[in-house]
Amino acid sequence: MTLQEFHKLVLPAKDKFYRLAKRIVNSKAMAEDVVQEVMVKLWQYQGEIDNVEAFGMRSIRNLSLDKIKSPKNKMARLGAVEFVKADSAPKPDKISESNDTAEIVRSIIDQLPEKQKIMIQMREIEGYSYQEIADILEVDISQVKVNIHRARKTIKEEVLKIHAYGL
């Protein structure tokens, strides 16, 4: 693989790699480290990989899970919350409401079981198809559909529960 091929095949997927890693490890710095390690691995396996993006996503998932299981990284993951900024929302109350809802959904997703968290990230944020997720995670497509359905159901129930509080 030449440098041009690397730029053409690997670099367009870099943002997807980062978003998945950040969803799993919940740390900007750690996600950047994971992506860098996977990019190096992709460069080292030049020409040996059929589907670079699928291999990269699978590597990101595995390395991210290894990082969060590491005892020295448990304290580093606690806390870091970033707020979503609303695009072109004219009123401060709408911006605040949008930020609050996004933060609620993000925290609910973070509390999902690992499989559901990864699959909902890949489907809803990254836009992968069910079949692509099944291929990347090396699971049956029915497992992907079931986990995404359960994740969506949990998110919906929790958001409704929060918004219905006190009624």
**Above pLDDT 70, what percent of the chain?**
83
Structure tokens at 71: 């005892």
pTM across the whole model: 0.57
Give the least confident one: 15-24, 93-102, 134-143: 93-102
What is the per-residue pLDDT for 75? Answer: 43
Return the percent helix, strand and coil in the chain, to nearest 5: 75, 0, 25
Would you say residue 148 has pLDDT above 90?
yes
Give, in order, the Cα–Cα distances in Å from 36 to each of 15, 71, 156: 12, 21, 34
What is the average per-residue pLDDT within 95-120?
85
Band of the pLDDT at 141, cuts 50, 70, 90? very high
Band of the pLDDT at 82, cuts 50, 70, 90? very low
Give the least confident one: 58-72, 106-120, 147-161: 58-72
Q: Which residues contact 114 (CB under 8 A, 6 or more apart)?
A: 24, 65
What is the per-residue pLDDT for 113? Answer: 92
What is the per-residue pLDDT for 81? Answer: 39
What is the per-residue pLDDT for 122? Answer: 87
* Contact (Cβ atoms closer than 8 angstroms) between residue 76 and residue 27: yes
What is the per-residue pLDDT for 44? Answer: 83
- Please give the Cα distance from 8 to 167 (Å, whole number): 54
For tokens 């809802």, what's the residue? Answer: 101
What is the per-residue pLDDT for 145? Answer: 94
